[in-house]
Amino acid sequence: MQFLKEEECCAEQQLLPPVSPNGLFFNSSAVSLVILAVFETEEPISLPSSRVVHLLDTRLLPVHPRFSSIIVTGEDGVKRWEKVAEVNLQDHIKTPVFPEGKSPEFYDRCFQDYFHKISGEKFSEGRPLWEFHLVKYPTLNAAGNVIFKIHHAIGDGYSLMAAMISCFTRSDDPSLPLTFPKNRIRRSSAAHGRAAFLSRALTSAVNTASDMWFSFSKTKFSEDDLSPIRSGDPAVGSRPVSVVTMTFPLDDVKEIKGRLGVTVNDVMTGTIFLGTRLYMQEMDPGSQAAETTAMVLMNTRMLQSYNSIQEMAEPKTTLAWGNHFAFLHITVPKLIGMSDGDELPSRRRALEFVRTTSATIQKKRFSLAISLTAKLLDLYRKLKGHEATASYLYKALKSTSMAVTNMVGPLEQMALADQPVKGMYFVVAGTLHDVFVTIVSYMGQLRVSVVAEKGFIDHDKLKSCIQMAFHHIYESSCH
């Protein structure tokens, strides 16, 4: 279990604070991660350049100094955020040109090619680490697409969602703020008495020791087996990828959640795990017994709901801007012993994926290993430097087979300068996994995106297996 905690934000000034340990890790020689958020418009994009410049100047840049800063190395060798004299917004706005008069199918292929191209391109030297792309051609899913490309060193998904949403308004009433679902945290029922306290303390100690050892051994001594979802190629982070998305009704997910007594995240993670195992079995029946571990990213702010930008920027608060999440090592359950004589798991046993995933995440969520690992990593950074720490975390990522992360989006429909947004999704580029799954909620839907290595992963088959897994879990729990 690896933990990332952002350093305090300081008052805006020409020379900003040193880049945090997490920012250095995400912008190191070992790892360079970029977030791309896609907003699909209902209508053709007809925004003039001047309006886009005004929007970014008045909405995005004031959100946080990092959107108008670059990373520089001082005379003392410390990397810091430094404000640029002026942000030339025209340099950050990209509008690709495709052949005119073609079909949505043609433009869909053009969009995919363009998306893959920009996901692998490095940011220009001397400019803040973000770009704004307007793709004004109709695809199969939308009349147009807007892409935010932002380096992970600026902040995590929580921070960047808040920044991106600051550029949008409510489609039905721009004077009202966008709202987000409440994040109700499950808490175990309180037990009283000395015996109960000792029992909880002993359980916590055992779980902490187990989690610490599993994380350390997975990083230093053992790696996941090679399988249909793990090639073991050391260059996987730089290889071409494909992106597929799928949508699940949030009401159906909540129905499963209510019947099983778990969280929405548990339902979707269990669905992805089951779909992944079905894919592995279909591609190679011998991979049923393969040791497969996922890195599940958990937001450690532990908030009840999304807070305002002002609250996040307050110094000395856990709401501060930056990267606040933990990497949780979660073993993907196996299909062995779960079928009733056919190649698919029985409906009843399919629910074991959700229940097992839920129990594992809950145990790790409240383990002291989170805070202990944070302290150990910080000590390691001080003794060995950020590049050595980045190398250690690189091994932690490379030893696993896949990654899963999620964000919470607004309940209401958004509009970008009067352009209604019908759908949204995000991906993380530059990852060290052959499969990286992201989940975001928006307007009563959950959008799941799968970034898969081209030529190694059959992304269409993996998509159909995940959809099949959700069908089995829904039918098992609700009918």
CA 202 to chain centre: 33
pLDDT confidence of residue 340: 46
pLDDT confidence of residue 242: 86
Tokens of 369: 């290993």
Mean pLDDT, residues 375-385 taken together: 74
- Expressed in percent and rounded to 5, the helix, strand and coil fractions of the chain are 40, 25, 35
Residue 25 CB-density burial (10 A; 0-12 exposed, 13-18 middle, 19+ buried)? buried
More confident residue, 308 or 385: 385
d(CA 138, CA 53): 23
User: Where in the chain are the domains?
Assistant: 2-170, 204-404+433-478
d(CA 345, CA 249): 23
The CA–CA distances, whole Å, from 73 to 30, 82, 109, 125, 423 equal: 18, 10, 40, 13, 40
- Position 193 pLDDT exceeds 70: no
Q: Write the pLDDT tens digit of every residue in 294-319.
A: 988 776 665 444 555 445 545 444 45
pLDDT confidence of residue 213: 64
Q: Write the pLDDT tens digit of every residue in 129-151.
A: 999 999 999 999 999 999 999 99
* Among 214, 407, 446, residue whose Cα is nearest residue 299: 407
Q: How confident is the model at residue 268 (pLDDT cuts 50, 70, 90)?
A: very high
Q: Write the pLDDT tens digit of every residue in 388-433.
A: 777 777 777 788 899 999 888 899 999 998 899 999 999 998 888 8
Q: What is the CATH number of domain 2-170?
A: 3.30.559.10
Q: How confident is the model at residue 194 (pLDDT cuts 50, 70, 90)?
A: low
Strands 402-407 and 293-299: parallel
The CATH architecture to which 204-404+433-478 belongs is 2-Layer Sandwich (3.30)
pLDDT confidence of residue 337: 56
User: Which segment of 26-35, 366-375, 401-410 scores lowest on mean pLDDT?
Assistant: 366-375
In which residue are the tokens 């306290």 written? Answer: 197
pLDDT confidence of residue 11: 42
For the entire predicted model, the pTM comes to 0.86
Say if residues 401 and 294 touch (Cβ distance below 8 Å): yes
Average pLDDT, rounded, for the chain:
82
pLDDT confidence of residue 442: 95
The CA–CA distances, whole Å, from 388 to 156, 375, 385 equal: 22, 16, 6
User: Which segment of 31-40, 109-118, 306-315, 409-418 scores lowest on mean pLDDT?
Assistant: 306-315
Q: Where are the alpha helices (DSSP H) in 221-263?
A: 250-260
Q: Write the pLDDT tens digit of every residue in 45-58.
A: 988 888 999 999 99
Percent of all residues in the chain with a pLDDT value above 70, rounded to a whole number: 78
- Position 197 pLDDT exceeds 70: no
More confident residue, 426 or 454: 426
207: part of which helix (H) or strand (E)?
Answer: helix 194-220
pLDDT confidence of residue 189: 46
d(CA 447, CA 425): 6
pLDDT confidence of residue 204: 67
